[in-house]
Amino acid sequence: MNRVIRAAAPAALLLTVLLTACGAVPAPEEDVPDPGPGFPVTVPHALGVAEIPAPPARVVALSVADADAALAAGITPVAVVTPFYAPDGDLPWLAGRLGPDVTRIPGAPDFTIDTEAVAAARPDLVLGTGAALTPQAHDALTRIGAPVLAHLADPVTDRWEDRTAAVGAALGRPGEAAAAVAGTTGAITALRDRYPGLDGRTFSFSVIQSPSALGTLVAADDVLSVVLGELGMRLPDTLAARPGSAPGTGIVALGPEQLTDLAADLVIVVAPDPAAADALLADPRAATLAPGGQLHTMDLVTATALRTPSVLSLRWGLEQLDAPLAAVAG
């Protein structure tokens, strides 16, 4: 199977060759199709420019976030690359939105893209704002012959609002995209108004990577930090002052002996394996993590909805966090 590896590589130059038959008679002007209102559209992104000549009819979404943005703008993709942890695409915030006619392209844990499957969907637009495309992957996808919209500046720190707006522009539906963004930001505002006691409260967010390793968020500009910051919350100083274990990740690796470093008003621990959560909660030090607050274990789907949010997943994810937020707010 032809897959594009996420290893960085120089982007190849794509040459468009126009073949004109000798003596061919140009088509009459009235036979040239109308590109449609608002088209052609040009949307810049980190890896180039997506030039969309006419309203796209066959949209392929390379991530659930891209599918969410398209659906919010009123367009159902013909194919969606689904995450490896939900290969059927049956994510709770998409319930009933992707019908049987939508092709599911299974995603891989290493974020490779099955270019043959994308090409088989015959796209006239490929949305990849949430796919963390490398120049190599972007180059291979453009060879399919459809415009490709990649991430806007950085695949980790791009804001969900900006991604939604870019997808809406590419689809020729900026108004619909803006209305969807307004609906989600309104939900965040309503949540903050409902729980004013969250102001100044601290949170920590960790993923159990193995029995001996926790990946803990330390970046104040991380997407999740920004979202919870809009509710008035912040990382504790003991975490916010730390550098990440690797540049640009915003994550520090902690061992079990550092478990107490997660202490905050709301301690979120993501456990891909429920047994790992049981082992952590059995540690006597776990009882000291959220004195007077909440220790909340979270599944991978909910964590993804919040840490890599989209216009649809974010609303659902915050609903799942409502009870612990209410408890922290008092």
Residue 45 has pLDDT above 90, yes or no: yes
Same domain membership, residue 132 and residue 223: no
Tell me which residue has tokens 């007077």.
292
The closest alpha carbon to 137, from 46, 202, 36, 228, belongs to 46
Residue 293 has pLDDT above 50, yes or no: yes
- In a domain, residue 69? The reply is yes
Contact yes or no for 234/203 (Cβ under 8 A): yes
Same domain membership, residue 215 and residue 164: no
Q: How does pLDDT run across 165-177, given as a tens digit for each residue?
A: 999 999 999 999 9
What is the mean predicted confidence (pLDDT) over 193-201? Answer: 97
CATH number at residue 100: 3.40.50.1980
What is the mean predicted confidence (pLDDT) over 182-209? Answer: 96
Residue 7 has pLDDT above 70, yes or no: no
As a whole number of angstroms, the distance between CA 72 and CA 45 comes to 20
Residue 15 has pLDDT above 50, yes or no: no
Out of 161, 188, 215, pick the residue that ends a domain. Answer: 188
What is the mean predicted confidence (pLDDT) over 151-163? Answer: 92
For the chain, what is the mean pLDDT?
85
The count of structural domains within the chain is 2
Which has the higher per-residue pLDDT, 13 or 220? 220
Same domain membership, residue 157 and residue 261: no
In sequence order, which ranges of the chain are alpha helices (DSSP H)?
A: 64-72, 115-120, 135-142, 160-170, 174-194, 223-229, 237-240, 274-282, 300-307, 313-320, 322-329
Same domain membership, residue 169 and residue 81: yes
Residue ranges making up the domain that contains 96: 38-188
What is the mean predicted confidence (pLDDT) over 83-112? Answer: 87
pTM of the model: 0.83
